[in-house]
Protein backbone atom coordinates (compact mmCIF):
# COMPACT_ATOMS: atom_id res chain seq x y z
CA UNK A 1 0.00 0.00 0.00
CA UNK A 2 1.11 3.57 -0.70
CA UNK A 3 2.96 5.84 1.73
CA UNK A 4 1.97 9.53 1.67
CA UNK A 5 4.93 11.92 1.71
CA UNK A 6 3.95 15.50 2.55
CA UNK A 7 6.86 17.86 2.06
CA UNK A 8 8.87 19.98 -0.32
CA UNK A 9 9.96 19.57 -3.91
CA UNK A 10 12.82 21.91 -4.77
CA UNK A 11 15.73 22.55 -7.08
CA UNK A 12 19.17 22.59 -5.44
CA UNK A 13 21.56 24.95 -7.25
CA UNK A 14 25.05 24.08 -6.02
CA UNK A 15 28.02 26.32 -6.81
CA UNK A 16 31.72 26.06 -5.97
CA UNK A 17 33.80 29.14 -5.09
CA UNK A 18 37.49 28.32 -5.44
CA UNK A 19 38.58 30.97 -2.92
CA UNK A 20 37.78 31.49 0.75
CA UNK A 21 34.89 33.58 2.04
CA UNK A 22 37.16 34.80 4.85
CA UNK A 23 39.43 36.47 2.29
CA UNK A 24 36.52 38.35 0.68
CA UNK A 25 34.57 39.39 3.77
CA UNK A 26 36.16 42.14 5.85
CA UNK A 27 35.25 41.72 9.54
CA UNK A 28 35.01 45.47 10.18
CA UNK A 29 32.81 46.03 7.10
CA UNK A 30 30.11 43.41 7.66
CA UNK A 31 27.51 46.14 8.26
CA UNK A 32 27.72 47.09 4.56
CA UNK A 33 28.48 43.91 2.63
CA UNK A 34 28.60 44.20 -1.16
CA UNK A 35 30.55 41.24 -2.48
CA UNK A 36 30.46 38.93 -5.48
CA UNK A 37 31.90 35.40 -5.72
CA UNK A 38 33.00 33.89 -9.04
CA UNK A 39 31.66 30.33 -9.19
CA UNK A 40 33.16 28.49 -12.18
CA UNK A 41 31.19 25.31 -11.52
CA UNK A 42 27.47 24.93 -10.94
CA UNK A 43 25.05 22.05 -11.00
CA UNK A 44 21.30 21.79 -10.49
CA UNK A 45 19.88 18.83 -8.62
CA UNK A 46 16.38 17.58 -8.01
CA UNK A 47 15.80 17.93 -4.28
CA UNK A 48 13.35 18.81 -1.55
CA UNK A 49 12.57 16.46 1.32
CA UNK A 50 9.48 14.88 -0.25
CA UNK A 51 11.27 14.24 -3.53
CA UNK A 52 14.32 12.77 -1.82
CA UNK A 53 12.28 10.50 0.46
CA UNK A 54 10.14 9.30 -2.45
CA UNK A 55 13.22 8.59 -4.58
CA UNK A 56 14.75 6.37 -1.90
CA UNK A 57 11.48 4.65 -1.08
CA UNK A 58 11.10 3.76 -4.75
CA UNK A 59 14.61 2.23 -4.73
CA UNK A 60 13.42 -0.04 -1.91
CA UNK A 61 10.40 -1.17 -3.89
CA UNK A 62 7.93 0.96 -1.92
CA UNK A 63 4.98 2.96 -3.23
CA UNK A 64 5.59 6.67 -2.59
CA UNK A 65 2.83 9.23 -3.09
CA UNK A 66 4.13 12.81 -2.95
CA UNK A 67 1.88 15.62 -1.73
CA UNK A 68 3.57 18.92 -2.56
CA UNK A 69 3.26 22.22 -4.39
CA UNK A 70 5.53 23.28 -7.27
CA UNK A 71 5.71 26.32 -9.51
CA UNK A 72 5.64 27.45 -13.11
CA UNK A 73 9.13 26.03 -13.69
CA UNK A 74 8.26 22.52 -12.49
CA UNK A 75 8.10 20.68 -15.84
CA UNK A 76 11.63 19.17 -15.59
CA UNK A 77 10.94 17.89 -12.07
CA UNK A 78 7.56 16.42 -13.00
CA UNK A 79 9.16 14.72 -16.01
CA UNK A 80 11.88 13.36 -13.71
CA UNK A 81 9.21 11.83 -11.44
CA UNK A 82 7.41 10.31 -14.44
CA UNK A 83 10.64 8.64 -15.54
CA UNK A 84 10.97 7.17 -12.05
CA UNK A 85 7.34 6.00 -12.15
CA UNK A 86 6.51 8.09 -9.07
CA UNK A 87 2.96 9.43 -9.06
CA UNK A 88 2.40 13.19 -9.30
CA UNK A 89 -1.38 13.00 -8.77
CA UNK A 90 -1.13 14.88 -5.45
CA UNK A 91 1.35 17.50 -6.67
CA UNK A 92 -0.26 20.89 -7.22
CA UNK A 93 1.21 23.40 -9.70
CA UNK A 94 1.05 27.05 -8.61
CA UNK A 95 1.33 29.05 -11.83
CA UNK A 96 2.10 32.34 -10.06
CA UNK A 97 5.16 31.06 -8.17
CA UNK A 98 8.49 29.37 -8.74
CA UNK A 99 9.29 25.92 -7.43
CA UNK A 100 11.27 26.07 -4.19
CA UNK A 101 14.91 26.92 -4.87
CA UNK A 102 18.03 26.44 -2.78
CA UNK A 103 21.22 28.30 -3.80
CA UNK A 104 24.33 26.93 -2.09
CA UNK A 105 27.84 28.37 -2.55
CA UNK A 106 30.71 26.40 -1.01
CA UNK A 107 34.23 27.79 -0.63
CA UNK A 108 37.62 26.06 -0.56
CA UNK A 109 37.29 25.41 3.20
CA UNK A 110 33.84 23.80 2.78
CA UNK A 111 32.13 26.81 4.34
CA UNK A 112 28.72 27.46 2.82
CA UNK A 113 26.47 30.43 2.13
CA UNK A 114 22.92 29.32 1.39
CA UNK A 115 19.82 31.16 0.26
CA UNK A 116 16.43 29.45 0.08
CA UNK A 117 13.37 30.70 -1.77
CA UNK A 118 10.26 28.74 -0.67
CA UNK A 119 8.17 29.78 -3.67
CA UNK A 120 5.28 27.40 -4.23
CA UNK A 121 5.93 25.66 -0.90
CA UNK A 122 4.09 28.51 0.77
CA UNK A 123 0.88 27.22 -0.81
CA UNK A 124 1.22 23.63 0.42
CA UNK A 125 -1.81 24.03 2.71
CA UNK A 126 -4.00 24.05 -0.41
CA UNK A 127 -3.45 20.29 -0.65
CA UNK A 128 -5.74 18.03 1.38
CA UNK A 129 -4.64 14.67 2.78
CA UNK A 130 -8.10 13.23 2.06
CA UNK A 131 -7.38 13.61 -1.67
CA UNK A 132 -4.62 10.99 -1.40
CA UNK A 133 -7.13 8.17 -1.00
CA UNK A 134 -6.06 4.96 0.70
CA UNK A 135 -2.57 5.11 2.26
CA UNK A 136 -1.00 2.99 4.99
CA UNK A 137 1.32 5.59 6.50
CA UNK A 138 2.11 9.30 6.18
CA UNK A 139 5.12 11.47 6.86
CA UNK A 140 5.03 15.24 7.30
CA UNK A 141 8.47 16.55 6.34
CA UNK A 142 9.66 20.18 5.98
CA UNK A 143 7.22 22.19 3.87
CA UNK A 144 5.18 25.36 4.10
CA UNK A 145 4.36 26.19 7.72
CA UNK A 146 0.57 26.02 7.42
CA UNK A 147 0.79 22.88 5.30
CA UNK A 148 2.81 21.04 7.94
CA UNK A 149 0.27 21.87 10.64
CA UNK A 150 -2.81 21.10 8.58
CA UNK A 151 -1.50 17.91 6.98
CA UNK A 152 -0.54 16.49 10.38
CA UNK A 153 -4.01 17.18 11.75
CA UNK A 154 -5.70 15.84 8.62
CA UNK A 155 -3.70 12.59 8.63
CA UNK A 156 -4.54 11.82 12.25
CA UNK A 157 -8.17 12.81 11.64
CA UNK A 158 -8.29 10.15 8.93
CA UNK A 159 -6.68 7.53 11.17
CA UNK A 160 -3.40 7.45 9.23
CA UNK A 161 -0.29 6.72 11.34
CA UNK A 162 2.03 9.73 11.12
CA UNK A 163 5.79 10.30 11.17
CA UNK A 164 6.59 13.88 12.21
CA UNK A 165 9.89 14.89 10.59
CA UNK A 166 10.35 18.63 11.27
CA UNK A 167 13.88 18.89 9.84
CA UNK A 168 14.94 22.38 8.86
CA UNK A 169 11.32 23.51 9.30
CA UNK A 170 11.56 23.09 13.07
CA UNK A 171 12.57 26.73 13.81
CA UNK A 172 9.26 27.93 12.30
CA UNK A 173 7.32 26.60 15.29
CA UNK A 174 7.18 27.62 18.94
CA UNK A 175 7.19 25.23 21.87
CA UNK A 176 3.42 24.82 22.13
CA UNK A 177 3.10 24.13 18.41
CA UNK A 178 5.84 21.51 18.58
CA UNK A 179 4.12 19.87 21.54
CA UNK A 180 0.96 19.75 19.42
CA UNK A 181 2.86 17.99 16.63
CA UNK A 182 4.21 15.47 19.13
CA UNK A 183 0.73 14.78 20.51
CA UNK A 184 -0.54 14.17 16.97
CA UNK A 185 2.39 12.05 15.82
CA UNK A 186 2.69 8.29 15.95
CA UNK A 187 6.46 8.56 15.42
CA UNK A 188 8.96 11.44 15.60
CA UNK A 189 12.21 11.51 13.59
CA UNK A 190 14.95 14.13 14.12
CA UNK A 191 18.72 14.43 13.87
CA UNK A 192 20.85 15.17 16.92
CA UNK A 193 20.82 18.96 16.42
CA UNK A 194 17.07 18.99 15.87
CA UNK A 195 16.62 16.84 18.98
CA UNK A 196 18.40 19.49 21.04
CA UNK A 197 16.27 22.25 19.54
CA UNK A 198 13.09 20.23 20.05
CA UNK A 199 13.83 19.59 23.72
CA UNK A 200 14.81 23.22 24.31
CA UNK A 201 11.69 24.63 22.73
CA UNK A 202 9.20 22.19 24.25
CA UNK A 203 10.84 21.78 27.64
CA UNK A 204 10.43 18.03 27.21
CA UNK A 205 13.30 15.59 27.56
CA UNK A 206 13.91 12.89 24.95
CA UNK A 207 12.42 10.30 27.30
CA UNK A 208 9.32 12.46 27.82
CA UNK A 209 8.89 12.85 24.06
CA UNK A 210 9.36 9.08 23.60
CA UNK A 211 6.59 8.43 26.14
CA UNK A 212 4.16 10.38 23.95
CA UNK A 213 4.79 8.46 20.72
CA UNK A 214 5.28 4.87 19.63
CA UNK A 215 8.89 5.62 18.69
CA UNK A 216 11.33 8.53 18.73
CA UNK A 217 14.19 8.22 16.24
CA UNK A 218 17.33 10.36 16.64
CA UNK A 219 19.97 10.11 13.92
CA UNK A 220 23.55 10.98 14.90
CA UNK A 221 25.52 11.03 11.64
CA UNK A 222 28.63 8.86 11.74
CA UNK A 223 27.60 7.69 15.23
CA UNK A 224 24.54 5.91 13.85
CA UNK A 225 21.10 6.38 15.38
CA UNK A 226 19.04 5.76 18.50
CA UNK A 227 15.46 4.52 18.56
CA UNK A 228 13.47 5.08 21.75
CA UNK A 229 10.46 2.77 21.84
CA UNK A 230 8.58 0.77 24.45
CA UNK A 231 10.76 2.14 27.26
CA UNK A 232 13.92 0.88 25.55
CA UNK A 233 16.73 2.48 23.53
CA UNK A 234 17.86 0.59 20.45
CA UNK A 235 21.30 1.67 19.22
CA UNK A 236 21.69 1.49 15.45
CA UNK A 237 25.25 1.38 14.08
CA UNK A 238 26.39 3.52 11.18
CA UNK A 239 27.04 1.48 8.03
CA UNK A 240 30.46 2.28 6.59
CA UNK A 241 30.12 4.08 3.27
CA UNK A 242 32.17 3.34 0.17
CA UNK A 243 33.24 6.99 0.20
CA UNK A 244 32.07 10.27 1.71
CA UNK A 245 30.96 12.44 -1.22
CA UNK A 246 27.96 14.51 -0.14
CA UNK A 247 25.73 14.33 2.98
CA UNK A 248 22.86 16.21 1.32
CA UNK A 249 19.74 14.05 1.48
CA UNK A 250 21.11 11.39 3.84
CA UNK A 251 18.42 12.12 6.42
CA UNK A 252 15.76 11.76 3.73
CA UNK A 253 17.22 8.40 2.67
CA UNK A 254 17.01 7.30 6.32
CA UNK A 255 13.32 8.38 6.46
CA UNK A 256 12.60 6.28 3.38
CA UNK A 257 13.96 3.24 5.20
CA UNK A 258 11.61 4.01 8.08
CA UNK A 259 8.61 4.28 5.77
CA UNK A 260 9.44 1.00 4.04
CA UNK A 261 10.12 -0.85 7.28
CA UNK A 262 6.98 0.36 9.02
CA UNK A 263 4.83 -0.34 5.95
CA UNK A 264 6.15 -3.91 5.92
CA UNK A 265 5.75 -4.49 9.69
CA UNK A 266 9.47 -4.93 10.39
CA UNK A 267 10.89 -4.83 13.91
CA UNK A 268 12.58 -1.59 15.00
CA UNK A 269 16.12 -2.95 14.95
CA UNK A 270 15.72 -3.99 11.31
CA UNK A 271 14.00 -0.71 10.41
CA UNK A 272 16.90 1.24 11.90
CA UNK A 273 19.54 -0.88 10.19
CA UNK A 274 17.86 -0.60 6.78
CA UNK A 275 17.49 3.16 7.25
CA UNK A 276 21.16 3.47 8.24
CA UNK A 277 22.17 1.51 5.14
CA UNK A 278 20.16 3.82 2.87
CA UNK A 279 21.94 6.84 4.33
CA UNK A 280 25.29 5.14 3.76
CA UNK A 281 24.46 4.39 0.12
CA UNK A 282 23.36 7.97 -0.47
CA UNK A 283 26.39 9.70 1.07
CA UNK A 284 28.70 8.06 -1.47
CA UNK A 285 27.15 10.06 -4.36
CA UNK A 286 26.92 13.77 -5.12
CA UNK A 287 23.39 15.12 -4.98
CA UNK A 288 20.33 13.72 -3.20
CA UNK A 289 18.91 11.67 -6.09
CA UNK A 290 21.87 10.32 -8.08
CA UNK A 291 22.57 7.02 -6.30
CA UNK A 292 20.89 4.15 -8.12
CA UNK A 293 21.56 0.73 -6.57
CA UNK A 294 19.32 -2.12 -7.64
CA UNK A 295 17.02 -3.70 -5.07
CA UNK A 296 19.18 -6.83 -5.16
CA UNK A 297 22.26 -4.71 -4.38
CA UNK A 298 20.51 -3.11 -1.40
CA UNK A 299 19.48 -6.52 -0.09
CA UNK A 300 23.00 -7.93 -0.50
CA UNK A 301 24.59 -4.93 1.21
CA UNK A 302 22.20 -5.30 4.13
CA UNK A 303 23.15 -8.96 4.46
CA UNK A 304 26.85 -8.12 4.30
CA UNK A 305 26.48 -5.45 6.99
CA UNK A 306 24.18 -7.28 9.41
CA UNK A 307 24.35 -11.00 8.62
CA UNK A 308 20.67 -11.58 7.83
CA UNK A 309 18.14 -10.57 5.19
CA UNK A 310 15.42 -8.02 5.92
CA UNK A 311 12.96 -9.63 3.49
Burial class, 233, CB count within 10 angstroms (exposed 0-12 / middle 13-18 / buried 19+)? middle
Q: How far is CA 238 from CA 26, 97, 304, in A?
A: 40, 40, 14
Pair 48, 68: CB distance under 8 Å: yes
Angle between helices 268-283 and 250-263 (to 10 degrees): 150
Q: Are 224 and 230 in contact (CB under 8 A)?
A: no
Ordered strands of the 10-16 beta sheet:
41-47, 10-16, 100-106, 112-117
DSSP, res 238? P
Helix (H/G/I), strand (E/B), else coil: 97 = coil
Sign of CA dihedral 107, 108, 111, 116: positive
Tell me whether residue 252 is one of the annotated catalytic residues. yes
Of the listed 18, 252, 267, 300, which one is catalytic? Answer: 252
Write a three-state SS string for 43-67: EEEEECHHHHHHHHHHHCCCCEEEE
Instruction: Give the catalytic positions in this structure.
Output: 252
Amino acid sequence: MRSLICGSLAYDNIMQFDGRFSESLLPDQLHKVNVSFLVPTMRREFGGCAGNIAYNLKLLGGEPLIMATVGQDSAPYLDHLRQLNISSECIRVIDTAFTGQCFITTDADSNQITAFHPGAMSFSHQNQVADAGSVKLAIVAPDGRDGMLEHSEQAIGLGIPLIFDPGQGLPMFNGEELKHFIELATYVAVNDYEAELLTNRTGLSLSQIAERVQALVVTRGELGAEIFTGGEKIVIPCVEADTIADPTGCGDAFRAGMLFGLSNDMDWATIGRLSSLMGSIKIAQQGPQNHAPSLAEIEDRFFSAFGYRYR
